[in-house]
C-alpha cells in the first residue's frame, strides 16, 4: 500500500555537552510533536559541523518516531543527511529499513520537510505491506 502523509510539526533542539570539544562540531537532542496524517512524537540526536566558509555546513541525525501514521500505530526510525553549500541546502531523510514496529512493520519511505512563515511541515511518501 502506497501512501502520502502530510501535516505540521513543532521541533525543539537542545545542545548537548561533550566531554571533549571538537572544533566546529556540535551535538543536539531533537524532540518533535507531529500533527496531521502522522500524529505522535519523536526523539533523536543530531551531529553537525560548520566550516570556515559562511553558509556551508552539514548534519546527520537519527530520530525515533512513535505514533499513528494514517491510523496505524507503531514506531519507526528516520535517518537525516543534510548539507548547506554556500547557502544552498540539500536534505535527505529516509525511513531506516526494517525499523517499523507493530502496525508499521515493513514501512519504507522518504520525508520532506518544508519551513515557511516560521512553521515546519512534512510530507512523508511511504509504502506499507498490505
The tally of domains found in the chain comes to 1
- Of 82, 72, 58, whose CA–CA distance to 106 is shortest? 72
Is the distance from CB of 52 to CB of 19 less than 8 angstroms? Answer: no
Instruction: Give the pLDDT score at 14.
Output: 96
Question: For 64-110, what is each residue's pLDDT tens digit?
Answer: 999 999 999 999 999 999 999 999 999 999 999 999 999 999 999 99
CA distance 50 to 19: 19
The residue whose grid cell reads 531506516 is 96
DSSP H or E run through 45:
strand 38-50
pLDDT at 20 > cutoff 90: no
- What domain range is 18 assigned to? 2-127
Question: Where on the phi/psi map is residue 37: left (φ > 0), alpha (ψ -120 to 50), or beta?
Answer: alpha
The CATH number for 29's domain is 2.40.350.10
Amino acid at each position: 500500500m502506497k501512501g502520502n502523509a502530510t501535516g505540521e510539526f513543532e521541533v525543539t533542539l537542545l545542545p548537548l555537552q561533550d566531554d571533549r570539544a571538537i572544533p566546529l562540531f556540535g551535538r543536539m537532542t531533537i524532540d518533535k510533536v507531529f500533527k496531521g496524517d502522522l500524529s505522535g512524537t519523536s526523539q533523536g540526536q543530531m551531529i553537525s559541523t560548520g566550516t570556515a566558509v559562511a553558509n556551508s555546513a552539514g548534519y546527520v541525525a537519527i530520530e525515533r518516531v512513535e505514533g499513528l501514521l494514517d491510523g496505524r500505530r507503531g514506531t519507526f526510525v528516520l535517518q537525516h543527511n543534510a548539507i548547506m553549500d554556500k547557502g544552498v541546502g540539500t536534505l535527505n531523510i529516509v525511513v531506516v529499513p526494517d525499523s517499523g514496529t507493530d502496525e508499521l512493520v515493513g514501512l519504507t519511505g522518504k520525508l520532506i520537510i518544508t519551513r515557511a512563515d516560521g512553521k515546519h511541515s512534512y510530507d512523508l511518501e511511504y509504502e506499507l505491506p498490505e
